[in-house]
Amino acid sequence: MSARRIAVVSAGLSNPSSTRMLADRLAAATVTALRQAQGPDSQPIEATVDTIELRDLAHDITNNLLTGFAPPALESAINTVVSADALIVVTPIFSTSYSGLFKSFIDVLDPDALTGKPVLIGANAGTARHSLAIDYAIRPLFAYLHADAMSTGVFAASSDWGSSADQVAPLSARVEKGARELAEAIARREPAGAADPFDPDSYLGQGRSFGHLLGGLAGE
Protein backbone atom coordinates (compact mmCIF):
# COMPACT_ATOMS: atom_id res chain seq x y z
CA MET A 1 0.00 0.00 0.00
CA SER A 2 1.32 3.43 -0.97
CA ALA A 3 1.63 5.95 1.85
CA ARG A 4 1.80 9.73 1.53
CA ARG A 5 2.41 12.59 3.92
CA ILE A 6 0.50 15.87 3.63
CA ALA A 7 1.67 18.98 5.46
CA VAL A 8 -1.02 21.54 6.29
CA VAL A 9 -0.04 25.13 7.11
CA SER A 10 -2.71 27.21 8.84
CA ALA A 11 -2.00 30.91 9.33
CA GLY A 12 -5.05 31.79 11.40
CA LEU A 13 -4.50 34.10 14.35
CA SER A 14 -7.45 33.24 16.55
CA ASN A 15 -8.26 30.00 18.33
CA PRO A 16 -10.49 28.54 17.07
CA SER A 17 -10.28 30.11 13.62
CA SER A 18 -12.12 29.77 10.33
CA THR A 19 -8.68 29.45 8.72
CA ARG A 20 -8.06 26.23 10.65
CA MET A 21 -11.60 25.04 9.90
CA LEU A 22 -10.96 25.43 6.17
CA ALA A 23 -7.55 23.78 6.47
CA ASP A 24 -9.05 20.77 8.24
CA ARG A 25 -11.80 20.40 5.63
CA LEU A 26 -9.30 20.54 2.78
CA ALA A 27 -7.08 17.96 4.47
CA ALA A 28 -9.94 15.57 5.21
CA ALA A 29 -11.28 15.84 1.66
CA THR A 30 -7.82 15.18 0.21
CA VAL A 31 -7.33 12.07 2.35
CA THR A 32 -10.74 10.81 1.21
CA ALA A 33 -9.94 11.52 -2.44
CA LEU A 34 -6.61 9.72 -2.13
CA ARG A 35 -8.29 6.59 -0.82
CA GLN A 36 -10.29 6.53 -4.04
CA ALA A 37 -7.19 6.97 -6.20
CA GLN A 38 -4.32 4.63 -7.04
CA GLY A 39 -0.61 5.32 -6.98
CA PRO A 40 2.01 4.37 -9.58
CA ASP A 41 2.00 0.82 -8.13
CA SER A 42 -1.80 0.55 -8.66
CA GLN A 43 -2.32 0.20 -4.91
CA PRO A 44 -4.71 2.22 -2.71
CA ILE A 45 -3.19 5.37 -1.25
CA GLU A 46 -3.33 6.18 2.45
CA ALA A 47 -2.12 9.50 3.77
CA THR A 48 -1.12 11.02 7.08
CA VAL A 49 -1.65 14.70 7.84
CA ASP A 50 0.64 16.98 9.85
CA THR A 51 -0.96 20.33 10.67
CA ILE A 52 1.19 23.33 11.53
CA GLU A 53 -0.41 26.28 13.33
CA LEU A 54 1.77 29.29 12.54
CA ARG A 55 0.33 31.29 15.46
CA ASP A 56 2.18 28.88 17.78
CA LEU A 57 5.45 29.60 15.94
CA ALA A 58 5.11 33.36 15.52
CA HIS A 59 7.93 34.29 17.93
CA ASP A 60 10.25 31.62 16.51
CA ILE A 61 9.58 32.83 12.96
CA THR A 62 10.45 36.40 13.93
CA ASN A 63 13.60 35.28 15.71
CA ASN A 64 14.60 33.24 12.66
CA LEU A 65 14.20 36.27 10.41
CA LEU A 66 16.35 38.35 12.78
CA THR A 67 19.07 35.83 13.59
CA GLY A 68 18.98 33.25 10.78
CA PHE A 69 18.59 30.49 13.36
CA ALA A 70 15.49 28.31 13.56
CA PRO A 71 14.58 27.12 17.08
CA PRO A 72 13.76 23.39 17.35
CA ALA A 73 9.97 23.75 17.00
CA LEU A 74 10.29 25.89 13.87
CA GLU A 75 12.99 23.65 12.41
CA SER A 76 10.68 20.67 12.89
CA ALA A 77 7.85 22.52 11.14
CA ILE A 78 10.12 23.47 8.24
CA ASN A 79 11.30 19.89 7.83
CA THR A 80 7.70 18.67 7.92
CA VAL A 81 6.76 21.04 5.11
CA VAL A 82 9.71 20.46 2.80
CA SER A 83 9.73 16.66 3.19
CA ALA A 84 5.98 16.17 2.66
CA ASP A 85 4.50 14.73 -0.50
CA ALA A 86 2.11 17.67 -0.79
CA LEU A 87 1.22 20.90 0.93
CA ILE A 88 -2.07 22.53 1.86
CA VAL A 89 -1.77 26.20 2.82
CA VAL A 90 -4.53 28.41 4.18
CA THR A 91 -4.15 32.07 5.09
CA PRO A 92 -6.56 34.77 6.17
CA ILE A 93 -6.72 37.74 3.81
CA PHE A 94 -5.65 41.04 5.36
CA SER A 95 -5.54 44.27 3.32
CA THR A 96 -6.28 42.34 0.10
CA SER A 97 -3.39 39.87 0.49
CA TYR A 98 -1.96 37.01 2.56
CA SER A 99 -1.16 37.64 6.20
CA GLY A 100 2.25 38.83 7.33
CA LEU A 101 2.69 35.73 9.49
CA PHE A 102 2.05 33.48 6.50
CA LYS A 103 4.55 35.35 4.31
CA SER A 104 7.15 35.39 7.10
CA PHE A 105 6.97 31.59 7.36
CA ILE A 106 7.42 31.27 3.61
CA ASP A 107 10.42 33.60 3.88
CA VAL A 108 12.26 31.30 6.30
CA LEU A 109 12.01 28.35 3.90
CA ASP A 110 14.87 27.62 1.53
CA PRO A 111 13.93 29.21 -1.83
CA ASP A 112 14.21 25.84 -3.59
CA ALA A 113 12.46 23.76 -0.92
CA LEU A 114 9.05 23.72 -2.60
CA THR A 115 10.18 23.14 -6.18
CA GLY A 116 7.73 20.78 -7.90
CA LYS A 117 5.71 20.17 -4.72
CA PRO A 118 1.91 19.92 -5.20
CA VAL A 119 0.23 22.74 -3.30
CA LEU A 120 -3.45 23.36 -2.65
CA ILE A 121 -4.12 27.00 -1.79
CA GLY A 122 -6.89 28.10 0.53
CA ALA A 123 -7.83 31.51 1.91
CA ASN A 124 -10.58 33.04 3.98
CA ALA A 125 -11.90 36.51 4.73
CA GLY A 126 -14.96 38.25 6.03
CA THR A 127 -16.32 39.04 2.57
CA ALA A 128 -16.29 37.39 -0.84
CA ARG A 129 -14.83 40.59 -2.29
CA HIS A 130 -11.40 39.22 -1.36
CA SER A 131 -11.83 35.95 -3.27
CA LEU A 132 -9.51 37.00 -6.11
CA ALA A 133 -6.60 37.34 -3.66
CA ILE A 134 -5.76 33.68 -4.25
CA ASP A 135 -5.01 34.37 -7.92
CA TYR A 136 -3.42 37.82 -7.78
CA ALA A 137 -1.44 37.46 -4.53
CA ILE A 138 -0.97 33.89 -3.28
CA ARG A 139 -0.64 31.94 -6.53
CA PRO A 140 2.20 34.17 -7.86
CA LEU A 141 4.10 33.54 -4.61
CA PHE A 142 4.09 29.79 -5.17
CA ALA A 143 4.81 30.21 -8.87
CA TYR A 144 7.95 32.13 -7.87
CA LEU A 145 8.92 29.20 -5.62
CA HIS A 146 8.37 26.77 -8.55
CA ALA A 147 5.74 24.84 -6.61
CA ASP A 148 2.99 22.96 -8.46
CA ALA A 149 -0.05 24.95 -7.33
CA MET A 150 -3.40 23.36 -8.12
CA SER A 151 -5.55 25.25 -10.62
CA THR A 152 -8.39 25.34 -8.10
CA GLY A 153 -7.93 27.59 -5.10
CA VAL A 154 -10.50 27.43 -2.30
CA PHE A 155 -11.74 30.68 -0.82
CA ALA A 156 -14.20 30.87 2.07
CA ALA A 157 -16.03 34.01 3.17
CA SER A 158 -17.85 34.32 6.48
CA SER A 159 -21.16 33.63 4.72
CA ASP A 160 -19.87 30.22 3.57
CA TRP A 161 -20.03 28.93 7.13
CA GLY A 162 -23.65 29.88 7.80
CA SER A 163 -27.12 29.11 6.54
CA SER A 164 -26.84 31.90 3.97
CA ALA A 165 -24.01 30.16 2.12
CA ASP A 166 -23.94 30.48 -1.68
CA GLN A 167 -25.96 27.57 -3.06
CA VAL A 168 -24.64 28.04 -6.63
CA ALA A 169 -21.10 26.98 -5.72
CA PRO A 170 -21.19 25.81 -2.09
CA LEU A 171 -17.98 25.62 -0.09
CA SER A 172 -18.21 21.82 0.12
CA ALA A 173 -18.14 21.52 -3.69
CA ARG A 174 -15.12 23.84 -3.95
CA VAL A 175 -13.31 21.92 -1.22
CA GLU A 176 -13.94 18.59 -2.95
CA LYS A 177 -12.80 19.93 -6.32
CA GLY A 178 -9.54 21.28 -4.93
CA ALA A 179 -8.97 18.10 -2.92
CA ARG A 180 -9.47 15.91 -6.00
CA GLU A 181 -6.91 17.91 -7.94
CA LEU A 182 -4.37 17.61 -5.14
CA ALA A 183 -5.05 13.89 -4.71
CA GLU A 184 -4.53 13.30 -8.43
CA ALA A 185 -1.25 15.23 -8.34
CA ILE A 186 -0.05 13.20 -5.35
CA ALA A 187 -1.07 9.90 -6.95
CA ARG A 188 1.04 10.65 -10.03
CA ARG A 189 4.18 11.03 -7.94
CA GLU A 190 6.38 8.55 -6.14
CA PRO A 191 6.30 8.86 -2.33
CA ALA A 192 8.73 11.42 -0.98
CA GLY A 193 11.64 9.88 0.89
CA ALA A 194 13.00 11.09 4.18
CA ALA A 195 15.54 13.77 3.26
CA ASP A 196 18.84 14.21 5.07
CA PRO A 197 19.26 17.93 5.89
CA PHE A 198 23.05 17.47 5.90
CA ASP A 199 23.09 15.97 2.41
CA PRO A 200 24.06 18.82 0.03
CA ASP A 201 22.23 17.04 -2.79
CA SER A 202 18.92 16.89 -0.92
CA TYR A 203 16.29 19.60 -1.17
CA LEU A 204 16.89 20.44 2.50
CA GLY A 205 20.59 20.92 1.93
CA GLN A 206 20.64 22.60 -1.47
CA GLY A 207 22.18 26.03 -1.51
CA ARG A 208 23.13 25.98 2.18
CA SER A 209 26.62 26.21 3.53
CA PHE A 210 27.86 23.79 6.18
CA GLY A 211 27.73 26.65 8.68
CA HIS A 212 24.12 27.32 7.78
CA LEU A 213 23.19 23.68 8.28
CA LEU A 214 24.91 23.49 11.66
CA GLY A 215 24.06 26.88 13.09
CA GLY A 216 21.29 28.32 10.99
CA LEU A 217 23.54 30.96 9.46
CA ALA A 218 21.48 32.96 7.01
CA GLY A 219 22.76 33.58 3.53
CA GLU A 220 22.43 37.07 2.17
Q: What is the pLDDT of residue 128?
A: 85
Tell me the mean pLDDT per 10 residues along the chain, length 220.
88 92 97 83 85 97 95 97 97 94 97 96 91 95 97 92 62 95 92 59 43 43
Task: Give the whole-angstrom CA distance, residue 38 versus residue 152.
Answer: 21
Res 173: pLDDT: 93
What's the pLDDT at 205? 46
Could you give the maximum distance between any two Cα atoms of the chain, in Å?
A: 55
* pLDDT at residue 36 in the model: 87
Q: Cβ of 22: how many Cβ atoms within 10 Å?
A: 26
The reported pTM is 0.84
Q: Return the SS3 of 48.
A: strand
Domains, the chain, in order of start with CATH, read: 2-215 (3.40.50.360)
pLDDT of residue 88: 98
Residue (of 188, 53, 177, 26) closest to 116 by Cα position: 188
CB atoms within 10 A of CB 29: 23
